[in-house]
Structure 1
Amino acid sequence: MAPPTTRARWGPIRSLLFLAPVLIGAPWFAYRDHRALPEPTVDLVNPQTSLPQISEAQILAHAKYLSEDIGYRTVGTREHALGDAWMVARAEELKAQCDEIVKATPGRKLECEVWRQEGSGHHRFDIMAKRLYKTYVNLSNIVVRVSDGTKAGKEHAVLINSHLDSTLPSPGAADDALSVGVMLECIRVLINTPEWEPRHSIVFLFNNAEESLQDGSHLFSTQHPIADSVRAVINLEAAGTTGPELLFQATSEEMIQAYSQVPRPFGTIVASEIFSSGVMMSDTDFRQFELYLNVTGLDMAVVGNSYLYHMRKDLVENIEPGVAQHMGDNTLALLQYLASPESPLPSLTAGYSKPTTVYFQSFKHFFIYSFDTAKVLYAFVFGLSVSFSVITYSAPAPALKKSRGFISDHLRGLFAIGSAVVGAIAGANVVALVMAQVLKKPLSWFSVEVSCALLYGPAALTGALISQLFMPDIREKTVFTSLLLVQSALAWGIQAFGIGSAALFFISSLPLCLALLLNSVVSSGPDVSLLSYAIGQFIPLTTGAQLAFEVLNVFVPLTGRTGAEAPAEHIIATLVAVLSSYLFPLFVPFTRRYGRSFLTRSILIVSMVTAVAIAVFSARNPFDTMHQKRLFVIHMENITSQEQHLHVAAADSAPGFDALAHDIAERFGAPGVPPAPVVMTEWNADWDTIYPFSAFITPYKLELPLKEEYMDPLDFSFVVSAVNDHIDKEAGTRKLTLKVEHPSIIWTAVAFDAHVLSWDLDDNPPDEYARHHIKEASFYGHDTWTVDLLVKLVPEAPADGRIRIDFVGIHEKAMWPGKRAEKHLGGHAMQLFEELDGWLDDSTGGTVDATLLGCVGGVAWV
């Protein structure tokens, strides 16, 4: 039987059954392609070719040693120093291997050099709309340069970077030991590949301080002697443990072209534009290379399952098989190309400039074209769409004509489409309001990225259907052509503003053109053939599904941890509504296919589905053992007041935290004293160790019981003082050096109010009396840092010119579970943490991951 072309042949159920293979198959096909990973390789040498190859097993062995044998490599800890020593040993081993290879093959142009860079510095680091300053002392980097040994071969280099350190609560297997393993494997494969000789050098930077706000990459960029040879950067990162490595920043056409050489490209300009917009509130070392080296490059990261990002379970056992292979194979191909005679590196001496290239990956194909090409192409498609719509337009029946014509009809069609999008957003947000404010069940979708589509998808559909009740009678075909016009117009218009993501609308408008062309052949009436629906829906479904999987992969875990004040429910509801509108563009003309009675019945059915979804999700727990609630706990010892408190905070709006805080206070706090809620401000110094991320948390302050061991005198030597102090009363200024001495305390932070005229941090302090935050990170065993200040004596400050300094830091031996192996050195903070951590695991069923920090702080007047 031939497929139906008119509404008289098949009703809505049979029509939907006919379209089911596309509606179900296309997203499933896209999902399979989206998650496709290569088969992991174990052997170091390919048994068929006898050539060296990237081995996932070897990459993961490196990652496991760093993350589990050495452990939590927080900057300033002993483990951080052990990681540094391990990396130096690996680099020297590879250099010795390289030297032996060259010795055994005379004439081969290959040279390996190793540096252990060590230095101190400071830099401004603005993030989350906060002005922050970083200072560091004697931090280190390990640098390996592979070249042909000639001066010309070292003139232009590609820098590839990963970081050795891990953040406070995480062993960092994926973030970023995985990338370290990938780089080590690339060096091994390159130097052991017979006859391989680099035309241009490759600089492998194993930086030692990314998690302390990119100090290692700043150190290399501003102080290493070979930094000025770098023409482009490849930065390897991880914010998850599953799925292919994503290209999420690309900053020149040449480097995008280079990326097209990889065996399994995965990335779109949409991801790059979302990340560069700042909505992600995240950053990588790439920032330092752009800022201080003025170079272009690629930023790539594993982002799937980012629930484990900066969590304890960032372990090798949780890295999906094939992830390391995917990253390793792609990285090796990039390095081989960029080191070859065909490399664009010599042409990149002008430095960084905003790219004007559209690129996207679809079903293992990588497409690239310039913005200029895009403008011409999209304008042509828009013109073709207008022409085709006019040619195929047929006027309404005489009785319906009145004053209506092509323009009037299509304005109605455009209004119907726009109303459906607005209705979808409104419907989803109404349900978000119900979940968050009425039922008090926010974040019910948190533990499964795509589950939010089951909650807010029906709600969006309900809102879109209801919007069509208020639309005038519009013919199905008119809405179909209106959709083609709006899609092609959006592609052309958005691209005119230099936004490459306009490609999404270009991609979806092409099948609509084809569908209308087919419809003019198979259907002579006013109806639209179901074959046209199938063709018109296939590309939006596949492209939209790939986009939706990636967006939800990133935004669901992230949005669920952006603080109790963030409108997480509405953000996710709006995302689902917008993605649904893109996924199902032909929904609106389909609602016009069967008349008003079909529309009202559909609204009733979908409303019932929405109600069921609300009921099901309201009964769900947002967290489980692999998708945990993030809890921040600080044991604060104030050496000024001799007080000790426990601070507990969450970074989400899920219900139950208030009760959990009270349970912790009852079990571990002073008897009969409830926890006190704390309002986070710039002046809440207790949380300055994680400033400015502390803006996301909802904290409580707990009184600790007066146990005998808590009455022991505090023996920390944490001194903040002013040296080289001089007041010039005539000029109304004070010049001093702020000196911070902190033996056994790391990640120190100071905050103070002053009108700073100049300092050695940067040349642009705020020209006003303001709050200043300075954070420190130094190598293990280095415990003194200074800042030179010239401040203005102002009425807001004390009459004697003194400055109040709020200071805080982390006891290096009091971080649980990172310091579990030497818990006896962490004092009563570690005793409390061990007991509290066990209690949390038992009482919550393992659904909470707590960052437990023993902090020392106080107030100094200098």
Structure 2
Amino acid sequence: MANPTALKQRHPKTPSSDHSSQDYSAVDNKHDLASPRKLHSAFSPLKTVLSAWGLFLAFMALLVVITYQIHYTLPTPVRESTNPVTGQVQFSEENVRVIVRHLSEDIGYRVVGTEQELETKQYLIKELTTLKDEAHMAGLRRPATDDALPNFDMWVQVGDGHHRFDFMSKVVMKMYTNMTNIVVRLSCGPECDQNSVLLNAHYDTTLGSPGAADDALGVGVMMEMIRVLSLRPAPKKNSIVFLFNGGEESLQDASHAFITSHELKDNIRAVVNLEACGTSGPEILFQANSRAMIDAYGTVPYPHGTVLANDLFATGLILSDTDFRQFVDHGNLTGLDMAVYKNSYLYHTHLDLDEFMEAGLPQHMGENTLALATFLTEKADLVDLESTTSVVFFDVFGQFFVAYSWSTALRIHLVVGGLALLSMVSSASRPTLRATISILLSFVAALVLPNLSVIFLQSLGKPMQWFTHEWWSCLLFGPVAFAGMFAVQYLFHDKKASTGANELSTFSGIQVFYTLCLGLASYSGFASSYVFALYSLSCTVALFLNQRRVAADNTTHDGRQQVVSSVDFTTYFIGALMPTAYFSFVCFSLLDIFIPLTGRIGVDAPVDSIVAVLTGFICFVFCPPVLAFTHRFGRAVLQKLIVFLLVAHLAILLISAVFVAPYDELHPKRVFVQHLRNMTSGESILYVAHADAGPITSYVAQVESLFDTQATFKSGSENPGDWNSIYPFSQFLDSYVLDTTPYIKAQTQNQTIANTLQPLTDFVQEAPRLVAENVSYDPQTGLRKLTVLCTHPHYIWTVASFDTELVSWSLSSSEPFPHPSHYVIRHVGGYVSDGWRLDLEYRASGPEDRLTIELTAMETEGFGKDEERELIGSGDIGVMRKVLKTRPDWVTLTYFGTTVSHFML
């Protein structure tokens, strides 16, 4: 290697060793925009630093702005049902919204078992019958020489059944009666009907929500697709079946009924499920389980999907599920699960209305699904589809779709790893152990240090300060994450080497880090490892180009090239281009999913720490070359940058703590309210619980003042049965409990109730009941048998829970546990389902060893029509109505009335 002093004399621009506190030297490159020779004559050293950083930051900001615009751009809504130029039928967003508005606003809360469910069923049947008649008339008017329109068949399925539903680490046995499905098939005739693709959406809603996006949008899209496809030539290869299912929110009962008992079930070969957990932005493909269906998705005009979402959903971190599960588990189907997900703050709230559904969203989902359905019915081979998760797929900035097998992925990864190794052999990459360790420790610092901010904010009583905007967490925790990353680089900066050498070794260390991540992810079979391949390849390409540019400038007069030991300024732009652009695009989805999700994952979840760690991760992977860039102007400048970030961070924390509220009207806090009448104890009590770790005491104080009583706290973990009506979601709820008896007695006009010493539950009429029939005991086996009969007029969603050692039962879909266990059996029924029966056989100590069953039943009233079951003759009191009418803007309520009774059978 040439003598450093001689090199310095031949090339004055070569950076010297970093011993000076004012070392602003840059790389040895004539193209370097920030090199001292280029800038020193015009700018001071500080301006040199600011110019370089400003240009680099501006480049990254430009990438973010461009990818943001691409990510959230939706197609222009179409209002006309036919194209005014060609006269052809076309998909119309306006037609979808007409259906969405009627379902969510005119009908309202379509909870299974209520009158609104029946009204929805009748409306859909009427509209589908009209579409069928219009298609029939269009077929009669069609010239004989044209291709025939499809056959239009329709069924209304009403079924009973049961299934086991494991969710949130809990086991729930589901029973259902009078569950309704409305089914439409479009086909070319018997030759098409043997192989069908299923499109599914549910028309019911959850408690406390009118369900415009979830899932009136999916229903409206399918209705409009039926209109369009029924007026086009019949599909030539496969038929298409549309399932309007009437019970998804009750834990996927209607889809189970279809796929296990409908006459078309054996002809279904693939499924496309339409869902929503948000109200804006593009819908995303977040579950896919076959290569053929993934390839079919590649034909849509606006692809938006990645195996990252598929892998993330499979971890169970996202506490949600869809009908897709029933089709896979019970129908052995492959398919696609697509959902709207942005602005999930309004998901399952009273704000899930058409007015908050972004313009262009129905058009986006509709055109994608229509293109998918067209391909699947016209060209796809649906026979013998194989289920697999070994497929890598992703969209490229929403413009086109890429999919390839895992074997192809491994070959790509080997090439990427080989190029990284070649760059090291050729000295384009010059990693050191010191620099590589610094990258790993920077990653750890980025994850850990934001938690110091969490501690600070929580000490001020300011949790969830980031909740109102998805990007706010980056501002709140980002500066300290970067400060931590840069502090590690400060400590690992080699004072004996030039700044250029520090830059190159750190840049090379970044390459090594992501290449190692690629190797580990590939070894683990992690399909999302394509992201590591992108990062490793970007670093490798940048280093190779850097070698050419810097080596050219380091050529001696006799034509010999010196060893490259610096980084050209343009190398950072090359190394950052694809990682920063792609991750920005993905990051929008990541934040859109996770930040609103923290508002519904329970009071015990450390959401501040979760978001802090997530933010640190985002900061680390956002722009990998930035860690090398921190060395560009020496340790003194890096030290000042760290101090600046810490000061800015502290200022942001203080401003946020003083001026920012964790909730507002469009980013509300989720509160659950239950008016429970305990028929055994005689209590009439109001439960108030929340679904996140944010503040609730001010709202509890307001409720206390409403009823002029003091609330007591009850832990959900110590009182697991308090919210059995919504089990297993109940495990996340801690409650504040208020006695409503004094309020009812004080407000009622009925003096009997006002002056009675009896429990107010004695005045409840037609309360749910359990009775035992066909009771027998076998002394030789020690087994006791009985048939449990439940009657619950005007009540829905009953839950029976008990503890015993079951030997057998009439729920043939699952065997009892082989040991004494706690059982929870949820029943739901369509409109006017007043009872159910269950056969049990359990191990008993004798004939009088009766089974104690707790029965919780939800009242039918209260959903959408502002009605509430009240004590006979009590007057217009309305405990729940009072809570609803005084709800603050920053709170959204999931509310219902229940009774609970204990029976010994």
User: What is the TM-score with the length of structure 1 in the denominator?
Assistant: 0.93
2:304 counterpart (242, 260, 266)? 266
1:468 counterpart (463, 467, 489)? 489
Distance in 1, Cα, partners of 2:403 & 2:149: 34
**Unmatched 5+ residue regions in structure 2?**
1-29, 40-47, 495-500, 552-563, 755-759
> What is the 5 A alignment of 1:828-847?
831-841=878-888, 846-847=889-890
Q: Aligned pair in 2 of structure 1 residues 825, 642: CA closer, same or farther (>3 Å)? A: closer
> What is the 5 A alignment of 1:413-432?
413-432=435-454
Corresponding position of 2:352 = 314
Given the alignment of the two structures, is residue 694 of structure 1 paired with residue 694 of structure 2, yes or no? no
Given the alignment of the two structures, is residue 512 of structure 1 paired with residue 539 of structure 2, yes or no? yes
Distance in 2, Cα, partners of 1:80 & 1:616: 48
> What is the 5 A alignment of 1:1-12?
2-4=31-33, 6=35, 11-12=48-49
2:648 counterpart (609, 612, 616)? 609
Corresponding position of 2:159 = 119
Q: Is the 8 A contact 1:669 1:704 kept in 2?
A: no
1:91 counterpart (123, 128, 131)? 128
Q: Which amino acid aligns with 1:719?
A: R
Q: Is the 8 A contact 1:814 1:830 kept in 2?
A: no
Corresponding position of 1:353 = 388
> What is the 5 A alignment of 1:456-855?
456-471=477-492, 473=494, 475-524=502-551, 525-619=564-658, 620-655=660-695, 657-670=696-709, 674-681=710-717, 684-706=720-742, 707-708=744-745, 709=748, 713-761=763-811, 762-793=813-844, 800-815=848-863, 818-820=864-866, 831-841=878-888, 846-855=889-898
How far apart are 1:586 and its partner, in Å? 1.1
Q: Aligned pair in 2 of structure 1 residues 669, 218: CA closer, same or farther (>3 Å)? A: farther
SS of the aligned residue for 1:49 comes to coil
Q: Is the 8 A contact 1:427 1:461 kept in 2?
A: no
Q: Which amino acid aligns with 2:531?
A: L
1:128 counterpart (161, 165, 168)? 168
Distance in 1, Cα, partners of 2:109 & 2:628: 56
1:807-843 per-position Cα deviation (integer Å, ceiling 9, x unaligned): 111111134xx131688899779722222222233xx
How far apart are 1:590 and its partner, in Å? 1.2
Q: Aligned pair in 2 of structure 1 residues 221, 3: CA closer, same or farther (>3 Å)? A: same
Corresponding position of 1:221 = 259
- Percent identity for Structure 1 against Structure 2: 35
* Deviates further, 830-839 or 35-44: 830-839
Q: Aligned pair in 2 of structure 1 residues 488, 383: CA closer, same or farther (>3 Å)? A: same
How far apart are 1:482 and its partner, in Å? 2.1
What's the C-alpha RMSD, in Å, of the aligned pairs? 2.0
Q: Which amino acid aligns with 1:625?
A: E
How far apart are 1:393 and its partner, in Å? 5.0
Distance in 2, Cα, partners of 1:7 & 1:344: 64
How far apart are 1:663 and its partner, in Å? 3.3
Q: Is the 8 A contact 1:371 1:495 kept in 2?
A: no
Distance in 1, Cα, partners of 2:212 & 2:734: 28
1:178-235 per-position Cα deviation (integer Å, ceiling 9, x unaligned): 1100001111111112x34342000000000000000010000110011111111000
Distance in 2, Cα, partners of 1:8 & 1:281: 57
Corresponding position of 1:234 = 272
Distance in 2, Cα, partners of 1:129 & 1:631: 23
> What is the 5 A alignment of 1:16-31?
16-31=53-68
Q: Which amino acid aligns with 1:700?
A: Y
Q: Is the 8 A contact 1:231 1:296 kept in 2?
A: yes
Q: Which amino acid aligns with 2:655?
A: V
Q: Is the 8 A contact 2:210 2:353 kept in 1?
A: yes
How far apart are 1:515 and its partner, in Å? 1.6
1:761-815 per-position Cα deviation (integer Å, ceiling 9, x unaligned): 2332222211111111101111111111111126xxx983212111111111134
Q: Is the 8 A contact 1:162 1:236 kept in 2?
A: yes
How far apart are 1:758 and its partner, in Å? 1.5
Distance in 2, Cα, partners of 1:821 & 1:328: 36
1:417-461 per-position Cα deviation (integer Å, ceiling 9, x unaligned): 10111111111122122223x222111111101111101111111
Given the alignment of the two structures, is residue 302 of structure 1 paired with residue 349 of structure 2, yes or no? no
Q: Aligned pair in 2 of structure 1 residues 730, 58: CA closer, same or farther (>3 Å)? A: same
**Unmatched 5+ residue regions in structure 1?**
395-405
Q: Is the 8 A contact 1:669 1:703 kept in 2?
A: no
Q: Aligned pair in 2 of structure 1 residues 353, 764: CA closer, same or farther (>3 Å)? A: farther
Corresponding position of 1:397 = none
Q: Which amino acid aligns with 2:711?
A: P
How far apart are 1:472 and its partner, in Å? 5.3
Q: Aligned pair in 2 of structure 1 residues 469, 128: CA closer, same or farther (>3 Å)? A: same
User: What is the TM-score with the length of structure 2 in the denominator?
Assistant: 0.89
Q: Which amino acid aligns with 2:715?
A: V
1:37 counterpart (55, 74, 93)? 74
* Deviates further, 165-174 or 826-835: 826-835
How far apart are 1:486 and its partner, in Å? 2.4
Given the alignment of the two structures, is residue 412 of structure 1 paired with residue 409 of structure 2, yes or no? no
Q: Is the 8 A contact 1:200 1:339 kept in 2?
A: yes
Q: Which amino acid aligns with 1:420?
A: S
Q: Aligned pair in 2 of structure 1 residues 213, 8: CA closer, same or farther (>3 Å)? A: farther
Q: Which protein shows a greater Rg? A: 2
Given the alignment of the two structures, is residue 377 of structure 1 paired with residue 412 of structure 2, yes or no? yes
Q: Is the 8 A contact 1:358 1:503 kept in 2?
A: no
SS of the aligned residue for 1:339 comes to helix
How far apart are 1:21 and its partner, in Å? 3.3
Corresponding position of 1:63 = 100
* Deviates further, 526-535 or 492-501: 492-501
Given the alignment of the two structures, is residue 81 of structure 1 paired with residue 118 of structure 2, yes or no? yes
Corresponding position of 2:315 = 277
Given the alignment of the two structures, is residue 452 of structure 1 paired with residue 454 of structure 2, yes or no? no
Q: Is the 8 A contact 2:767 2:899 kept in 1?
A: no
SS of the aligned residue for 2:237 comes to coil
Distance in 2, Cα, partners of 1:736 & 1:459: 64
* Deviates further, 111-120 or 726-735: 726-735
Q: Is the 8 A contact 1:74 1:80 kept in 2?
A: yes
SS of the aligned residue for 1:475 comes to helix
Distance in 2, Cα, partners of 1:601 & 1:449: 30
Distance in 1, Cα, partners of 2:636 & 2:509: 23
Distance in 2, Cα, partners of 1:811 & 1:18: 63
Distance in 1, Cα, partners of 2:810 & 2:631: 68
2:400 counterpart (349, 361, 365)? 365
Distance in 2, Cα, partners of 1:494 & 1:323: 35
Q: Which amino acid aligns with 2:486?
A: L
Size of the aligned set, in residue pairs, is: 830
How far apart are 1:336 and its partner, in Å? 0.3
